[in-house]
Amino acid sequence: MADEIQCRMVPVLPGLFVGGAAAAGALQAAGVVALLSVDAEEPPPVAGIRTLHVPARDEPSTDLLSHLDSCAAFLCAARAGGGAALVRCHAGVSRSVALVTAYLMKTNNLTFEEAYATIKALKSDAKMNEGFEWQLKLYEAMGCKVDVSSAIYKQYRLQKVTEKYPELQDLPQEVFAVDPTSICQTLNSEVLYRCRKCRRSLFRSSSILSHAEGSGPAAFAHKRITDPAQLRNDSRVKCTSYFIEPVQWMEPVLLGVMEGQLLCPKCTSKLGSFSWRGEQCSCGRWVTPAFQIHKSRVDEMKALPVCGFQTAKT
């Protein structure tokens, strides 16, 4: 029996196993009290075993990132009680490996590369798909905590929406930031951005999705620059636009349209543009999807302690 358990269930830490569908038959013999299943179909219940099912296919587009914290909490609770936990998927190669890798990152303070190498050293066939690798690297960048308010997570969520809603006829409301004109908040650390022409509030600083600086003039060589001397110039072009998450006032414009202009909802002056396929920033970086507001079309306003009062940022 011990050899069979070892074959089907690979121990990663004391009280933590990873395996495939066949491992379910060895639960009680291994002292497993909790089963974390990540698969397209939920497995039948096992008497005396606590279960958590994450519905997911082994595809790069599958969202595992949003489940990582709840999965870690489930495994921690099982191990804290003195029992063992098994993380399983159909083949025990990709999905289950991704969840256990994330757990090691969070609980053992490991980088993605360190945690993944640990799993592969114990399980030679471990190989998560590239989409899961990317998501775990984002998880690492967020400090191994799913922070839904972070720019990293907001950009990730937008990319998932683009994949899931190719026709863009039905967008989940959680992708839209609240319209700053519809709420009354006192956030001294935030900057409010208003239309330069009519002063209508458009978005807050928390909606800005920062990106790594691009390669500057060289990024536009295919259509703008032919002089090699210019391409060798190390100077960088500053970003002339803010790339932000969608705001509620944009919703009527975005539905069913892949790209277009962004106009002020009050005075209709042009603010920028959007494209679900992505757009190139003036610094050369490609951003997908892109909702960009030209800096020259808005003013920054710092909020004062009293709600409803702002002052121009200096």
Task: Just list the catalytic residues.
Answer: 89
Q: Which two tokens stand for residue 10?
A: 């690979």
**Burial class of 156 by CB neighbour count within 10 A (0 to 12, 13 to 18, 19+):** buried
Alpha helices (H) along 165-249: 228-231
Distance CA 155, CA 171 (A): 15
- Phi first, then psi: what are they for 147, rounded to 5°? -105, 100
**Which residue matches tokens 């990317």?**
134
Q: Please, are residues 34 and 86 in contact by the beta-carbon 8 Å criterion?
A: yes
Distance CA 275, CA 233 (A): 30
Closest by CA position to 154, among listed 205, 212, 214, 208: 208
Distance CA 232, CA 225 (A): 11
